[in-house]
Amino acid sequence: MAKKSYRQAINDAIRQEMLADPRVVVMGEDNAGGIEAPGEDDAWGGVLGVTKGLMPEFGRERVLDTPISESAFIGAAAGAAATGLRPVAELMFVDFMGVCFDQIFNQAGKFRYMFGGKAVTPLVVRTMYGAGFRAASQHSQCLYPIFTHVPGLKVVLPSSPYEAKGLMIQAIRDDDPVIFLEHKVMYDDEEDVPDESYTIPFGEANLTREGDDVTVVAFGRMVGLANAAADALEKDGISCTVVDPRTTSPLDTDTILECVEETGRLVIVDEASPRCNMATDISALVAQEAFGALKAPVRMVSPPHTPVPFAPELEDAYIPSQAKIETAIRGVMAH
């Protein structure tokens, strides 16, 4: 088993599905290229190189560079999915969803329901999210709660290269529209990733740590920080279960509730803005379904309710950190 980066794992998944199924196509701004050739062939393979090398292997009929018009090519991808292809469309930054959201939530997400279950829309929208890249407020948001709110969409947040490959293959094979969110700070993260094709099912959480005292639910990049906090506190005799839901829609509510019932304490780590994010959603779930099991109030670790700052010192202070997670865990233990 070879070590692969988060970027390579996603590329691997798309490439293997393109080899297996001629209906899989890639489209987006600068998605072609990557062969270090002169002229127009010397594109990037996407803004951070995720699709690099696909165009030379599969040709321009299956790896399409699009105009800078998200409303046009996301709409085209939805139409292509409804008429027989399996497009993987790249919305460069999730912050740009505002110009193509109608195509996603009011069209693609409703096709199955509007046509009595007879239409399928096997569309994957890949998109970057998250702060820490010094990309300022218009390129650093975590807008996955907005997609999670929409019935008909599946929403994926891989927390590692292994998850990225298995979840991407699952996404491409799914017959419903999938929003696949890639944290831009994680593209160079590496771990062992199988060369062969494999899938990770949606709606099945992964327990990355198991303990008796506190349940920590974290999403995407926050899973790694939650693991680091759990490892640090283990030395002080505090043992944590860390839950990585992997998908926010469908959400594995059974695993979350079972873990909370076992530990009696809950900390939720969510990089999205604190109003109406996943942390508030899970807090409400536990308050309704497992209130009697709680030994302490639920703690949420989220950024302040402001746009992502551009100044590096402020951006670092804005993002949930290992130290903030440790403080929250100690807080529920001390209650």
> Would you name the residues annotated as active-site residues?
139
Residue 224: helix, strand or coil by DSSP? helix
Pair of tokens at residue 289: 């379904």
> Is residue 116 within 8 Å of 107, Cβ to Cβ?
no
Closest CA to 119 of 176, 170, 180: 176
CB atoms within 10 A of CB 134: 11
- Our CA dihedral for 97, 102, 108, 110, rounded to 10 degrees, sits at 130
* SS3 label, residue 262: helix
Residues near 40 by Cβ (< 8 Å), separated by ≥ 6?
Answer: 33
Please choose, from the candidates 101, 323, 165, the residue with its C-alpha nearest in 3D space to the C-alpha of residue 229: 323
The answer to whether the CB of 246 falls within 8 A of the CB of 220 is no
Q: Under 8 Å CB-to-CB from 197, ≥6 apart: which residues? A: 13, 16, 17, 20, 169
C-alpha 148/C-alpha 215 separation (Å) is 22
Rounded Cα distance between 86 and 152, Å, is 17
How far apart CA 327 and CA 333 sit, in angstroms, is: 10
DSSP symbol at 307: P
Q: Over the Cα atoms of the chain, what is R_g?
A: 20
Residue 25's DSSP bridge partners are 87
Q: What dihedral angle (degrees, nearest 10) is formed by the CA atoms of 125, 19, 206, 194?
A: -140
